[in-house]
Amino acid sequence: MTAIDKKLFKKLYVNKFLEMHGIELKEGSNQQKYEALGSLVRDYVTRTWLKTNKKYNKTGEKQVYYFSMEFLLGRLLGDSLLNIGIRDVCREALAELNISLEELENLEQDQGLGNGGLGRLAACFLDSMASLNIPGHGCGIRYKYGFFEQKVIDGKQVEVSDNWLRQGNVWEKRNANKAEIVKFGGNIKVEENNGRLSFIHVNYEPVLAVPYDTPVVGYENDVVNTLRLWSAEAVSNEFDFSSFSRGDFLQAIEYKNSVESISQVLYPEDSFYEGKMLRLKQQYFFVSSGIQSIIRHFKKHGGNILELDEKVAIHINDTHPTLAIPELMRILLDEEGLPWEDAWRITENTISYTNHTILSEALEKWPIDMFKNLLPRIFMLVEEINRRYCEELWSKFPGQQNKIANMAIIGDGQVKMAHLAIVGSHSVNGVAKLHTEILKKKEMSDFYYLYPNKFNNKTNGITHRRWLLKSNPKLTKLLCDTIGDGFIKHPIDLQKFESHLDDKGILDELAKIKLQNKQKLAKTIFENEKIIVDPNSIFDVQVKRIHAYKRQTMNCLRIMDLYNKLIDNPNLDISPRTFIFAGKAAPGYYLAKNTIELINNIANKVNNDPRVNEKIKVVFMENYRVSLAEEIIPGTDVSEQISTTTKEASGTSNMKFMMNGALTVATLDGANIEIRDEVGNDNIVIFGLNADEVLNYYKNGGYSALETYNNDPRIKNILNDLINGKYHSDRDRFKTIYENLLTYNDEFFVLKDFDSYLKAQDKVDSLYREKDTWQRMCGVNISHSGIFSSDRTIEQYATGIWGSEVIYKNL
Ligand code: 26Q
């Protein structure tokens, strides 16, 4: 991109503002100033975007398409400026116009089209693909309403719709000329022409899929890739009001509403599958439009359909886009006229699949009737895929009927999406070493036996551009001053920082930066939550979706225990701590919502008790989202990664905290294990059951929550506190939590791990007192975080799965 200086930037900005708003800059609102800046940046990016696309078309490089129901981008202005390389110029130019860049950046609505880890991972991957010169694009849904906005009223979560497009979206470009038609329902007419069967879809409901493209800017490398999100609209000639009589008019309205509902809202459940037809519709809608447009583009530029798999890689983010497999088959067979064998080879070679969860309740299985009625041709293809695959199974496992029934794609009246995803792709990966091992040895062991070469691990990563450079400028500066800026393009070089950790001056700097970040966070906490917290206390943070397996309740129980201890012994010598929580619960998940209420009630009690206020405070921060995470993480001392071992596939906030110099308290779950391996046992605090122990309990039993309760007076006391009115005048208020822990034998081993957790926290307390040791540990974490950059992850996907060329130019 052409270099730009302060003077030129100022001129362009002032002109842009005038042109856009028709008033002078000084009369404009901050919102208008933000819009002008966004628009200027978009124009600036557009030229490089065009150039990038031209280059891709000319060179015919392999294109990667990352299909995902979710892209949790957050804000784009700051990161785009950073990646273009003009954020400092822009800040200085605006300052001369008396405008604060940060203030404008904070006006941007988060683009919250995702639930959590999986959606944010997709966003980090887009950033890394562009920054590594990989022609990699996103394909998803342009939800009119993203993940709901969370309000806390009387301690309880209330969901408000996220009208993120209210003020417009400067980043997207509607491309009506690239719309596709997606067909739902109807019937399939089979005809024979010249000895070949053709399948004609009739009586279907057509839906117009209109793409909205957002530029994805690579880091200082003149690459701009595309995130294409599809929006559902009525096909216009089907919806001509004037030509309808009254009955038809109502029908037309119904049609329009039904069509528009497809891209209306993101489902807010991230760990519980419900067979909702609208969700299946969403899946087929974006998958079909995405694949159609890929093939159209491929052919337009002279691609030979038999070589599709050499020129295109399609990655599916969990099973949600699995219909890509039969949809690609449909196009290759029905529209391109290929024989089954060719179509299948191309499809399998083109598609790869990532699994993100082993919770069985999250597995997608669609009722056959629903599937068949909504997608009649796709169902026929899935049946045929299943028939051929079962034949293969019969020859591999003769006589083993049960095994074959369990492995089939269609069975028990359902279509099993994970099975289809494994069978129809050439690569299946987990997201951390332990997770992949569990897939291979346990959850998917039959499939691993059948296709050992498909299975591989790709440990998750996070983009250090957003999660370090952008969100923690002070730490970034210290790193640049100490080890140079090479780590920006080679994050693994953060390792160089380790040799400086014997320098007391550096440790003091680290402490100073952390304190400043905590002061900023404390200010936000006060502004948002009206709670005063002490930046000199330990900021102990658990922010993530609220879920039983993530064990926010265990964190609550230890606070309740500590509170009791402080009341019993006001002189108890502890390092003051501020416990910070944030996260959303799925609207229908009672236990998770109840947990939010418990956190808030503990906060209420503790924060209003002068006997303990010098020592502990509890905060629940409303409406956790990407932009809030960017504020919380740099100001964190202790990162709570306390899931029941085996349940968290990877986790990614663990990596963000580490990169920002927090100490992790963790179970040996997901990527925590790899973090431990990187930093060593002395620089992380590990506790709790290991994977073998947990799996053994699940398999053989032998754990009694009641026994643990009876043998540990601390546990007895705090569990009783849940139901004795201490935290709510209605004693039944937290009974569900109580019963899950005790009556239903504590599925997630909260009580079992409790003692070990308290000891881990005691250790944190004593470590924090040794200021230099503490800072050194934080420094070691930063130094070893480079491997968790999504640049490393993406490079592994590119070389190990997609077969894309990784070009190191500009690196
Ligand atoms: C499925 C069917 C119907 C409705 C919703 C869903 C659904 C939606 C979202 C199921 C799962 C999700 C999201 C899962 C997720 O975020 N998993 C997390 O992925 C991260 C990235 O790999 C991991 O780090 C986390 O460990 C994992 O929990």
Q: Could you tell me which residues are beta bridge partners of residue 428?
A: 353, 455
Average pLDDT on 328-350 reads 98
What is the residue-wise DSSP string for 715-741?
HHHHHHHHHSSSS-SSTTTTHHHHHHH
pLDDT tens digits, residue range 88-101?
Answer: 999 999 999 999 99
- pLDDT, residue 239, reads 53
Average pLDDT in the 288-311 region?
A: 98
Measured from the CB, is residue 544 less than 6 Å from ligand 1?
no
Binned at pLDDT 50, 70 and 90, residue 2 comes out as: low
Specify whether 205 is located in the same domain as 344: yes
Q: What is the DSSP string of 20-59?
A: HHSS-GGG--HHHHHHHHHHHHHHHHHHHHHHHHHHHHHH
Whether 197 and 304 map to the same domain: the answer is yes
Q: To test ligand 1's pocket by mutation, which of 66, 124, 125, 270 has the most ligand atoms within 8 angstroms of CB?
A: 270
For residue 240, name the pLDDT band (cuts at 50, 70, 90).
Answer: low
Instruction: Let me know if residue 577 belongs to a domain.
Output: yes
Compute CA distances 389 → 19, 383, 409, 419, whole Å: 61, 10, 9, 11
Please report which residue ranges of 60-116 form alpha helices under DSSP H: 77-84, 87-96, 101-105
Cα separation, 290 vs 17, in Å, equals 36
Confidence of residue 602 (pLDDT cuts 50, 70, 90): very high
Label residue 226 by pLDDT band (50, 70, 90): very high
- Give the model's pLDDT for residue 252: 84
Where does the pLDDT of residue 248 fall: very low under 50, low under 70, confident under 90, or very high at 90 and above? confident
Q: Is there an atom of ligand 1 within 6 Å of 121 CB? A: yes
pLDDT given at position 195: 86
The pLDDT value recorded for residue 728 is 97
787's tokens: 């491997």
Ligand 1 mutation target, pool 274, 284, 318, 642, most atoms within 8 A of CB = 318
Nearest C-alpha to atom 10 of ligand 1 is from which residue? 270
Any domain includes 695:
no
The rounded percent of the chain whose pLDDT value lies above 90 is 94
Whether residues 636 and 757 share a domain: the answer is: yes
811 has a pLDDT exceeding 50: no
Q: Quick check: 465 pLDDT over 80? A: yes
Cα–Cα distance for residue pair 707/735, rounded to 1 Å: 19
Is-contact 293 180, C-beta < 8 A? yes
pLDDT attached to residue 245: 60
Instruction: Indicate whether 242 and 283 sit together in one domain.
Output: yes
Dmax (CA) for the chain in angstroms is: 92
Q: Contact 388/294 with Cβ under 8 angstroms? A: no
For 421-444, the pLDDT digits (tens) are 999 999 999 999 999 999 999 999
Q: How many CA atoms lie within 13 A of 527 on its CB side?
A: 7
**Position 705 in a domain:** no
CATH number, residue 129: 3.40.50.2000
438 Cα distance to chain centroid: 21
pLDDT tens digits, 739-760: 999 999 999 999 999 999 999 9
First to last CA, the chain: 16
* Substitution site in 69, 71, 124, 271 for ligand 1 pocket (most atoms within 8 Å of beta carbon): 271
Q: How far apart are CA 457 and CA 797, in angstroms?
A: 10
Question: Ligand 1 centroid to 268 CA: how many Å?
Answer: 11
Would you call 529 exposed, middle or buried from its count of C-beta atoms within 10 A (0-12, 13-18, 19+)? middle
Mean pLDDT, residues 500-514 taken together: 98
Determine contact, residues 750/741, Cβ cutoff 8 Å. yes
Query: Worst-scoring range by mean pLDDT, 113-122, 194-203, 346-355?
Result: 194-203
What local confidence, expressed as pLDDT, does residue 136 receive? Answer: 98
pLDDT digits (tens, 9 = 90+) for 366-417: 999 999 999 999 999 999 999 999 999 999 999 999 999 999 999 999 999 9
Q: How confident is the model at residue 807 (pLDDT cuts 50, 70, 90)?
A: low
Ligand 1 atom at minimum distance from 269 CA? 5
| Stretch (H or E) spanning 682 | none
pLDDT digits (tens, 9 = 90+) for 537-570: 999 999 999 999 999 999 999 999 999 999 999 9
622 Cα: distance to centroid of ligand 1 (angstroms): 21
- Report the pLDDT averaged over residues 68-75: 98
Contact (Cβ atoms closer than 8 angstroms) between residue 143 and residue 73: no
Does residue 232 lie within any of the structural domains? yes
Rounded to the nearest 5 degrees, what angle is found at the Cα of 690, between the Cα atoms of 684 and 691?
A: 125
Dist. CA 807–CA 134, nearest whole Å = 8
Rounded Cα gap, residues 543 and 630, in angstroms = 11
Q: What is the pLDDT of residue 242?
A: 53
Is residue 364 in contact with ligand 1, taking CB distance under 6 Å?
yes
Among residues 461, 603, 462, 592, the alpha carbon closest in space to that of 531 is found at: 603
Coil, strand, or helix at residue 748? coil
Distances (CA, A) of 458 to 101, 125, 280, 357, 806: 37, 12, 28, 14, 17
Both 354 and 415 in a single domain? yes
- Note whether residue 724 is domain-resident: no
Q: Domain check: are 266 and 239 in the same one?
A: yes
- Dihedral angle of Cα 176, 177, 182, 186, to the nearest 10 degrees: 100
Distance from C-alpha of 222 to C-alpha of 522, rounded to nearest angstrom = 38
> Which amino acid, one-letter code, is at 637?
D
Q: Supply the pLDDT for residue 116.
A: 97
Report how far residue 179's alpha carbon sits from residue 129's, in angstroms, rounded to the nearest whole number: 25
Atom number of ligand 1 nearest to Cα 652 = 24
Do the Cβ atoms of 354 and 401 come closer than 8 Å? no
Does residue 696 lie in a domain region?
Answer: no
Q: Which two tokens stand for residue 716?
A: 């007895």
Q: Are residues 274 and 333 in the same domain?
A: yes
| Distance in angstroms (rounded) separating the CA atoms of residues 377 and 203 | 12
pLDDT for res 810: 44
* Predicted pLDDT at 194: 86
DSSP state of 258: H
Residue given tokens 């019937």 in the structure block: 187
At position 807, the amino acid (one-letter code) is: I
Do residues 800 and 806 touch, judged by C-beta distance below 8 A? no
**String of DSSP letters for 486-497:** HHHH-GGGGGGG
Indicate whether residue 260 lines ligand 1 (CB < 6 A). no
Distance of CA 578 to the CA centre of its chain: 27
Question: Residue 28 is part of which domain span?
Answer: 1-59+77-101
Q: Distance, CA 298 to ligand 1 centroid (Å)?
A: 31
pLDDT at residue 322 in the model: 98
What pLDDT is attached to residue 275? 82
Amino acid at residue number 90: C
Instruction: Judge if 557 and 469 occupy the same domain.
Output: yes
Give the whole-number percent of the chain exceeding pLDDT 70: 98
* Å from CA of 322 to ligand 1 middle: 15
Beta bridge partners of 136: 64
Instruction: Round to whole Å and give the CA distance between 265 and 288.
Output: 19
Average pLDDT, the chain: 96
Is it the case that residue 244 has pLDDT exceeding 90?
no
Tell me the β-bridge partners of 616: 577
**Contact call for residues 112 and 454 (beta carbons, < 8 A):** no
One-letter amino acid of 534? D
- The arithmetic mean of pLDDT across residues 434-458, rounded, is 97
C-beta of 595 in contact with ligand 1 (< 6 A): no
Closest ligand 1 atom to Cα of 670 = 26
> Using an 8 Å Cβ cutoff, are 479 and 494 in contact?
yes
Tell me what pLDDT residue 196 has: 87
Number of domains in the chain: 3
Task: Please give the C-alpha separations between residue 371 and each of 100, 268, 278, 323, in angstroms, as whole numbers.
Answer: 53, 22, 11, 11
Residues 6+ apart with CB under 8 A from 750: 551, 553, 554, 557, 741
Q: What is the average pLDDT across 196-217? A: 96
Q: 271 CA to middle of ligand 1, Å?
A: 6
DSSP annotation of 637 reads S
Enzyme catalytic residues:
356, 544-545, 550, 652, 656
Give the residue, by CA position, lying nearest to ligand 1 atom 1. 273
The answer on pLDDT for 341 being more than 80 is yes
The answer to whether the CB of 273 is under 6 A from ligand 1 is yes
Dist CA 649 CA 641 (whole Å)? 12
Nearest atom of ligand 1 to the alpha carbon of 460: 22
446 lines ligand 1 (CB under 6 A): no
Cβ neighbour number for residue 779 with a 10 Å cutoff: 22
Query: Contact at 8 Å (CB) between 140 and 212?
Result: no
Residues 574 and 542 in one domain: yes
Is 434 contained in some domain? no
Pocket lining: 549 vs ligand 1, CB cutoff 6 Å: no
d(CA 365, CA 412): 10
Looking at the domain assignment, is residue 729 inside a domain?
Answer: no
Residue 809 has pLDDT above 60, yes or no: no
From CA 361, how far away is CA 89, in angstroms rounded? 50
- The span from the CA of 695 to the CA of 797, in Å, is 29
Shared domain check, 365 and 261 = yes
Q: What per-residue confidence (pLDDT) applies to 805?
A: 75
Q: Which atom of ligand 1 is nearest to the CA of 435?
A: 26
Pair of tokens at residue 699:
């398999």
User: Is it the case that residue 1 has pLDDT exceeding 60?
Assistant: no
The ligand 1 atom at the shortest distance from the C-alpha of residue 274 is 3
Q: Are 366 and 417 in contact (CB under 8 A)?
A: yes
Does residue 116 line the site of ligand 1, with CB under 6 A?
A: yes
Q: What is the mean pLDDT of residues 578-583?
A: 98
pLDDT of residue 237: 62
CA of 229 to the centre of ligand 1 (A): 19
Polymer length in residues for the chain: 811
Whether the predicted pLDDT of 504 surpasses 60: yes
Clarify whether residues 575 and 530 are in a common domain.
yes
**Residues 372 and 511 occupy one common structural domain:** no
pLDDT for 246 beyond 90? no
